[in-house]
Homo-oligomer: A and B are copies of this chain.
Amino acid sequence: MQWRELPAIYFEDPGSPVERSSYLIELHTDDGGSYDVVSDASSPAARECCAQQSSARHNWEMNYQEAAIYLQEGENNDKFFTHPKNAKALAAYLFAHNHLFYLMELSTALLLLLLSLCEAPAVPMLRLGIFVHATLELFALIVVVFELSMKMRWLGFQTFIRHKRTMVKTCVLLVQFIEAIVVLVRQTSHVRITRALRCIFLVDCRYCGAVRRNLRQIFQSLPPFIDILLLLLFFMVIFAILGFYLFSPNHSDPYFNTLENSLVNLFVLLTTSNFPDVMMPSYARNPWSCVFFIVYLSIELYFIMNLLLAVVFDTFNDIEKRKFKSLLLHKRTAIQHAYRLLVTKQRPSGISFKHFEGLLRFYKPRMCARERYLTFKALNQSNTPLVSLKDFYNFYEVVGLKWKRSREHWFDDLPRTAFLIFKGINILVKSRVFQYTMYTVVAVNGIWILVETFMLQGGNFFSRNVPWSYVVFLTIYGVELLLKTTGLGPVEYLSSGWNLFDFSVTLFAFLGLMALAFNMEPFYFIVVLRPLQLLRLFKLKKRYRNVLDTMFELFPRMASLGLTLLIFYYCFAIVGMEFFAGVVYPNCCNTSTVADSYRWVNHTVGNKTVVEEGYYYLNNFDNILNSFVTLFELTVVNDWYIIMEGVTSQTTHWSRLYFMIFYIVTMVVMTIIVAFILDAFVFRMNYTRKNQDSEEDNGIVLEKEISKEEVIGIIELYKRTSAATETAQLQKIVLQMDKYGQMSTVFLGRRSRTKSDLSMKMYEEEIQEWYEEHSRKEESQTPLQEPASASSSSLKPLSLRQRSQTVI
């Protein structure tokens, strides 16, 4: 077995890297002598003498770190021109790239956004004094200044200026700063529409990368969208003129009496929101006038609106593909950068485990020794001791795998009897009979709930005594949950989305039961979460499984789209609050056409008090929460013109612009959402059609076998170089192998499938072309600067940084 001789390589002299981390090079051109220890190690003398163990190791540490940074940049789609260029920048980069810093970024952004809960038209319960919220705002803004200065330190002034998003952020920051100070000084709030720009702090957060991508996609889809929108508006204008000529002679028709009314009503008609009403006065006069409306709706609503969707869908498709391509190529370049930093001059054909392990220590500090070795082995498809560039290209696919011994149960280490019991439970839980029994129980439960609810109608259904059926079913679910957790082990049990769903529903149902038992009213609605268990029944059919699995897969993306929508909401809510706060109240709009919806009369008929409630005054912009609900109602579009007309009657008719622009913006976002769902599902269904043989897929699975010698070899390696804590787990594996007399163990690497994996499969053929085209382009941009070695033929020199002087 060829792995036997491997340890020799692990312990080889690290050698000198083909290329050195730029931080080392920069260090001795750097005049600040902050890194004393390093500066002598990287002196020309030290560099020539490779035998000096400590300096060589330090060299390598730097290389590992820079390679890890490259790989991170590849993963996060950070452009390479923001790559830290010297040791000082590196320090700032490291400071600004950890979860603590990210969390600070996020929390300041959230704080700024949440301030609008307490500012001027505040939510009653959360109102704060002007002094308090302005100080809070200033504090948050100062934190943002600090963040930006760290970024400047890392990027350098030149790059900082070039980075558009950061520049916009700086400008907004300035404006906010000035305004906050003005508010503090004047002790009164002025019309601060610029608060709408606070969103940019959230968008710029590291954690909101998906939102940024969505926004970019929306802006990229805009040009074709606007084209079709113009077509839509053109027809609207034509029909408005036509409608004005046709219907304005009819004086009982309030919808078309002026050209402006005609236009506004046709705009509203586009959303169908005023449909039969707008037609009725003319229809009552002449039945044939319905033709006008039918033609208008057929053209605008049923044709051009769908055209809009088609055009956006098409653009979306195209953008998705281009985005995938550029991301793929970006990752590839990142891998090339990292690779060049990890190969040694002695062995330019690949990366040894020693160096790979060093990289992973920086790239994924949490990974344990076993996983690092397995990742290395999974990458290494040629079975030689070195990972070639070609193998290294799979880095991102492999590094995400979670490794587990195959047929490993959590109860493996228990005594024999316990093992057998749990094994039995495990087999029972995985059996079909058990599954179908549970399905039957769920179905019966569903029917039961329906019948029960139907019988209870109007009765006092929250009585003291808990219905026995409820207890019975909950007990069954509880037993199932217990069996499954013990049979599969809690970790495996909860790793499936379906189980997680079951678990939380059952847990909530228990909470509900307790609430019922202790008669805590506010919790009673948890009781009715029970029917959600029925969702399990849909697992029985393949199409539903497909649909629901895709739903789970899409969830992160959907959430980011939702967040994007919320950001638009926020902007509009701020503007709405500044202009329309307090304008709508009961009986406010008695002069307008929508008076009924705002009327609130308390009159007495006979001896009974009749309350006539038009609740629309509740849809206002009085505080940010109310604004959000109002904006949601505007998004749903039905009867939005009542809200619009109500506000308009209290302000000017220019207010309509606000509502119309909001409609168009949500239309854009909603069309994108529809296009996204369409694209994702059609893509997925095409994928399943392409891979009909592999029906059941549980994500990406990789199998690797490891022999005992290898494990011992790694232990040796770790013992020499680093702390002993890392080797404990490895030694346990050796012990277990001894126990069962195995010479090797099989490990399974598993991760869930992402959209990127699907795309890889779908564009299989095209990807090769992209790669070739990409390398051809790079070649033509920068001629080879070093003699081509055997394996680095597909490795192109870096175009972003001049490195010729570092390569000997």
Q: When chains A and B are docked, how far (Å) is the Cα of A632 from the Cα of B228?
A: 25
Q: Which of B227, B242, B538, B681 contacts A528 (CB 8 A)?
A: B242
Q: Let me know if A428 is at the binding interface, CB within 8 A.
A: no
**B245 pairs with A525, CB closer than 8 A:** yes
Q: Which of B248, B313, B551, B616 contacts A276 (CB 8 A)?
A: B616
Residues of B within 8 A of A311 (CB): 547, 681, 685
Residues of B within 8 A of A534 (CB): 234, 238
Q: Let me know if A204 is at the binding interface, CB within 8 A.
A: no
Known A-B contacts A259-B453, A615-B281, A639-B275; A682 and B310 likewise in contact (beta carbons under 8 Å)? yes
Distance in angstroms from A634 CB to nearest chain B CB is: 10
**B453 pairs with A633, CB closer than 8 A:** no
**B224 pairs with A543, CB closer than 8 A:** yes
- Which segment of A156-164, A301-309, A692-700 sits at the interface? A301-309
CB contacts under 8 Å to B, within A605-645, are 611, 613, 615-616, 618-619, 625-626, 629, 632-633, 636-639, 642-643
Distance in angstroms from A460 CB to nearest chain B CB is: 10
**Digit string of A491-508 for contact with B (CB within 8 Å is 1, else 0)?**
000000000000000000
Known A-B contacts A272-B636, A638-B276; A544 and B231 likewise in contact (beta carbons under 8 Å)? yes
Q: When chains A and B are docked, how far (Å) is the Cα of A160 from the Cα of B686?
A: 40
Distance in angstroms from A780 CB to nearest chain B CB is: 24
Q: Which of B238, B276, B532, B633 contacts A619 (CB 8 A)?
A: B276
Chain B's closest residue to A550 (CB) is B307
Distance in angstroms from A147 CB to nearest chain B CB is: 33
**Digit string of A277-289 for contact with B (CB within 8 Å is 1, else 0)?**
1001101100100
Q: When chains A and B are docked, how far (Å) is the Cα of A283 from the Cα of B619?
A: 10
**Digit string of A99-121 for contact with B (CB within 8 Å is 1, else 0)?**
00000000000000000000000
Q: When chains A and B are docked, how far (Å) is the Cα of A280 from the Cα of B614?
A: 9
**B290 pairs with A629, CB closer than 8 A:** yes
**A307 pairs with B681, CB closer than 8 A:** yes
**A272 pairs with B618, CB closer than 8 A:** no
Q: When chains A and B are docked, how far (Å) is the Cα of A746 from the Cα of B552?
A: 63
Q: When chains A and B are docked, how far (Å) is the Cα of A259 from the Cα of B454?
A: 7
**A302 pairs with B241, CB closer than 8 A:** no
Sort chain A's interface into a size bin.
35 or more
**A302 pairs with B673, CB closer than 8 A:** yes
Q: Which of B241, B275, B613, B674 contacts A636 (CB 8 A)?
A: B275
Q: When chains A and B are docked, how far (Å) is the Cα of A297 from the Cα of B449?
A: 23
Known A-B contacts A244-B453, A303-B677, A638-B273; A632 and B283 likewise in contact (beta carbons under 8 Å)? no
**B538 pairs with A231, CB closer than 8 A:** yes
**B277 pairs with A307, CB closer than 8 A:** no
Q: When chains A and B are docked, how far (Å) is the Cα of A626 from the Cα of B681?
A: 40
Q: When chains A and B are docked, how far (Å) is the Cα of A636 from the Cα of B525?
A: 35
Q: When chains A and B are docked, how far (Å) is the Cα of A660 from the Cα of B616?
A: 28
Q: Let me know if A246 is at the binding interface, CB within 8 A.
A: yes
Q: Let me know if A418 is at the binding interface, CB within 8 A.
A: no
**A306 pairs with B678, CB closer than 8 A:** yes
**A241 pairs with B547, CB closer than 8 A:** no
**B458 pairs with A313, CB closer than 8 A:** no
Q: When chains A and B are docked, how far (Å) is the Cα of A239 from the Cα of B749?
A: 40
Residues of B within 8 A of A437 (CB): none
Q: Let me know if A294 is at the binding interface, CB within 8 A.
A: yes
Q: When chains A and B are docked, how far (Å) is the Cα of A534 from the Cα of B611?
A: 53
**Digit string of A677-710 for contact with B (CB within 8 Å is 1, else 0)?**
1101110011000000000000000000000000
Residues of B within 8 A of A277 (CB): 615, 639
Q: Let me know if A26 is at the binding interface, CB within 8 A.
A: no
Known A-B contacts A307-B677, A678-B309; A228 and B272 likewise in contact (beta carbons under 8 Å)? no
Q: Let me know if A46 is at the binding interface, CB within 8 A.
A: no
**A276 pairs with B245, CB closer than 8 A:** no
Residues of B within 8 A of A307 (CB): 547, 677, 681
**A283 pairs with B636, CB closer than 8 A:** no
**B615 pairs with A248, CB closer than 8 A:** no
Known A-B contacts A276-B639, A281-B615; A228 and B685 likewise in contact (beta carbons under 8 Å)? no
CB contacts under 8 Å to B, within A117-166, are none
Q: Let me know if A468 is at the binding interface, CB within 8 A.
A: no
Q: When chains A and B are docked, how far (Å) is the Cα of A257 from the Cα of B678?
A: 37
Q: Let me know if A745 is at the binding interface, CB within 8 A.
A: no
Q: Let me know if A450 is at the binding interface, CB within 8 A.
A: yes
Q: Let me know if A417 is at the binding interface, CB within 8 A.
A: no
Q: When chains A and B are docked, how far (Å) is the Cα of A362 from the Cα of B648?
A: 71
**Digit string of A312-327 for contact with B (CB within 8 Å is 1, else 0)?**
0110010000000000
**A458 pairs with B257, CB closer than 8 A:** yes
Residues of B within 8 A of A258 (CB): 457-458
Q: Of A307, A616, A636, which is in contact with the most chain B CB atoms at under 10 Å from its CB?
A: A636
Residues of B within 8 A of A303 (CB): 551, 558, 677
Residues of B within 8 A of A643 (CB): 276
Residues of B within 8 A of A538 (CB): 231, 234
Q: When chains A and B are docked, how far (Å) is the Cα of A613 from the Cα of B284?
A: 10
List 9 A-B pairs, Cβ < 8 Å: A244-B453, A246-B525, A276-B636, A281-B615, A306-B677, A309-B674, A311-B685, A314-B681, A314-B682
